[in-house]
Amino acid sequence: MAAAMAERGFEVIGVDISRAAVDAVNCGKAPVHETGLEEMIVRNKSRLRATTSPEDAVLNSDISFAIVPTPSDKRGAFELQYAKYAFRDIGRALKEKDGYHVVVLTSTVLPGATRHGLLPILEKESGKKCGVDFGLCYSPEFIALGSVIRDFLNPDFYLIGQFDEKSGDLLEMVNRKVCLKEPVVRRMTIENAEIAKIALNSFVTMKVSFANILADICERIPGGDVDVVSDALGSDSRIGRKYLTGGMGFAGPCFPRDNVALSFLCKEIGADGSLLLTNDTYNRELAKAFFGKLSSLVRGGETVAVLGLAYKPESHVIEESQGIFLARAFADSGIRVVGYDPLATQGAKQALQDQVIVSEYLAEALQDANVVLITTPDSVFKNLTVKDILGKKEKVTVVDFWRCLSEEVRVHPSINYIGMGRYREELSAQARLHELWA
């Protein structure tokens, strides 16, 4: 966010409690892995600096964005501890500042948290009044790891929850300058924006689950193909094609917890959140169902290669990773498992410990594999050739959860290719349909 804003011409000051992160930015290095980030930091060193001092940042800027973690607590709600620390420091800096300043919370929170949990801290620490001496907005981003910069500069829309018109006006001005196109801006109350953010994420997870149900259906219907069905559904403007690709369950640091958090809110305010709970349960059981389908493909003494240990392509994050779950499940059943991921090697090694061999090289992971599972549609895996997969082996089974491998691989006689979401058991399925309708 800091790098992209600097790219768009703003003078930006980044703040972090981590001295290592601050030093990295000031040296033109990316403190985290993200596509294109380091190059953007280097290009904008003259407009971007970092500090560990919130006071320095607030006193020398007009608008502050708080982008701190809001981890899930035991109830499934979002913890405000780190946001409270940040708002305390911002409030103390505002006390020393002359002139108007806008504070924007970007972290995902539940409805009511900004106004009732965080705003009082700003007013107490600053001794000033919101709407008079400073402004406040809630404005979360809709971005995905691996494509953060692209998503940030080209959003579908900007969501602004404003305390008052003045606060929203300043934030919208910033957004319009940051955006690479003419942006859609939705301005509303802070509470409506809080609802909209978490509701959007939760709705997307239901779309993912529905696509996975379709994939399961298509596997059991002669000629069934989830991509063909999804293309048809996605042509309807009421539905759209995004997130309708049957594959593996939703995972990562946001989708699973946001769904749980919205169901928590429903329970607390007396709304019916049963649909949300059902979706969460279905998704958590999905990897177990996949293991049940695939366990018969592997015999004792064989090796399974799991390609894709991050929760999605172009990411190093393994949180709630379906690939990690499958690797662990096969290892627990006594099968030798070798895992590989282009970016998530270290995190996967820590998560899997001695259960699974996590290889540094793709060729090494494939070398002895009798069964290969493609669990993320990473470009590295899409480009696999027959030679890459077979090596010196006579026969290999490939399970492609995303149906992303080349035609050459899919039809090769020495590769038993299984595209999940496509029909697999023609005779038995024909018999079932005949019995049902004849």
Regions in the chain scoring below 50 on pLDDT: none
**All domains of the chain in start order, with CATH:** 2-195 (3.40.50.720), 199-286 (1.10.1040.10), 298-419 (3.40.50.720)
Which of the residues 27, 254, 266, 404 is marked catalytic?
A: 254
Residue 85 to residues 135, 201, 352, Cα–Cα distance (Å): 18, 26, 34
CB 395: neighbour CB atoms within 10 A?
10
Please say if 254 is a catalytic residue.
yes
Q: What is the pLDDT of residue 86?
A: 97
For residue 234, how many C-alpha atoms fall within 13 Å in the half-sphere facing its CB? Answer: 17
> What does the alpha-carbon distance between residue 30 and residue 24 come to, in Å, rounded to a whole number?
6
Q: 192: helix, coil or strand? A: helix
Residue 351's alpha-carbon distances to 21, 287, 414, in angstroms, are: 24, 17, 34
For the chain, helix, strand, coil in percent to 5 are 45, 15, 40
pLDDT digits (tens, 9 = 90+) for 59-107: 999 999 999 999 999 999 999 999 999 999 999 999 999 999 999 999 9
Model pLDDT, residue 183: 93
Please, are residues 339 and 323 in contact by the beta-carbon 8 Å criterion? Answer: yes
pTM for this entry? 0.90
Amino acid (one-letter) located at 416: N
pLDDT of residue 427: 59
